[in-house]
């Protein structure tokens, strides 16, 4: 049991705390419904801890990194018929918060249940977030914790400024760092690419040609 929960259970103020938490969750539920109503397809927005977070436009470097990974992963998944790859404006629904990952992957089982008109998707099997100054705290903080708690098996954090990738793998609801590098090889269940192929357009093109049968 979490230490904070144990402390709360042992507190004589437990009923008062429960009442306050219940009110807060009810208010958050109403705010979540508002999020569904006001956010449009033209926006990249997320619902985090009761607040609507609308993201500003990204730098070209950020966009290029996202696109490089997306092309490689999507091509591999399509050729191997492994599931479905999504990006940017797909809303993934977690117990409390809802996110729009930069790149995500759903294995065959989850992908088979996704319909063309669906707008709320379950927790993916893989997520990659590309860092920016305004999102790094969230990507390394609450998303890191929540993705792990909801069984997202693999989580990549990509830093387009430093040109470094971090590869995390889930182990008993906690992420362990598998690799942090700018030049190493990314290997994940048959998907093996040079780390530089995420940041270098020429290497990305070479790697794409090697994935093709």
* pLDDT tens digits, 95-152: 999 999 999 999 999 999 999 999 999 999 999 999 999 899 999 999 999 999 999 9
Residues 94 and 154 in one domain: yes
Residues 108 and 183 in one domain: yes
Task: Give 134's DSSP letter.
Answer: T
CATH of residue 63's domain is 3.90.1570.10
Q: What is the pTM of this model?
A: 0.89
Burial 17-44 (b: 16+ CB within 10 A, else e): eeeeeeeeeeebeeebeebeeebeeeeb
Q: Is residue 46 part of a domain?
A: no
Residues 84 and 169 in one domain: yes
pLDDT in tens, 13-65: 778 878 888 888 888 888 888 888 888 887 889 999 999 999 888 999 999 99
Residues 74 and 20 in one domain: no
Its domain, for residue 205, covers: 54-211
Rounded to whole angstroms, the Cα distance separating 199 from 165 reads: 10
Torsion of CA 89, 120, 147, 168, to 10 degrees: -50
Average pLDDT over residues 185-203: 91
Q: Is residue 18 part of a domain?
A: yes
Q: How many independent structural domains does the chain possess?
A: 2
Residues 108 and 206 in one domain: yes
Residues 83 and 186 in one domain: yes
The pLDDT assigned to 107 comes to 96
């Amino acid at each position: 049991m979490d230490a904070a929960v144990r402390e709360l259970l042992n507190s004589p103020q437990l009923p008062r705390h429960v009442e306050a938490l219940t009110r807060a969750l009810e208010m958050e539920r109403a705010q979540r419904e508002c999020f569904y109503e006001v956010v449009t397809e033209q926006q990249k927005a997320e619902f985090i801890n009761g607040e609507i977070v609308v993201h500003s436009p990204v730098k070209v470097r950020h966009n290029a990194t996202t696109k490089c990974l997306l092309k490689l992963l999507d091509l591999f998944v399509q050729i191997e018929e492994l599931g479905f790859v999504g990006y940017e404006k797909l809303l993934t629904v977690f117990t409390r918060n809802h996110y729009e990952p930069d790149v995500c992957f759903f294995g065959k089982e989850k992908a088979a249940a996704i319909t063309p008109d669906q707008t709320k998707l379950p927790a993916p099997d893989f997520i990659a977030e590309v860092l920016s100054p305004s999102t790094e705290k969230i990507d390394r903080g609450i998303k890191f914790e929540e993705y792990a708690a909801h069984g997202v098996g693999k989580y990549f954090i990509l830093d387009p400024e430093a040109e470094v990738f971090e590869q995390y793998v889930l182990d008993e609801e906690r992420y362990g760092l598998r690799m942090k590098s700018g030049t190493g090889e990314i290997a994940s269940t048959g998907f093996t690419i040079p780390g530089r192929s995420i940041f270098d357009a020429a290497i990305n093109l070479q790697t794409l040609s090697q994935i093709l049968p």
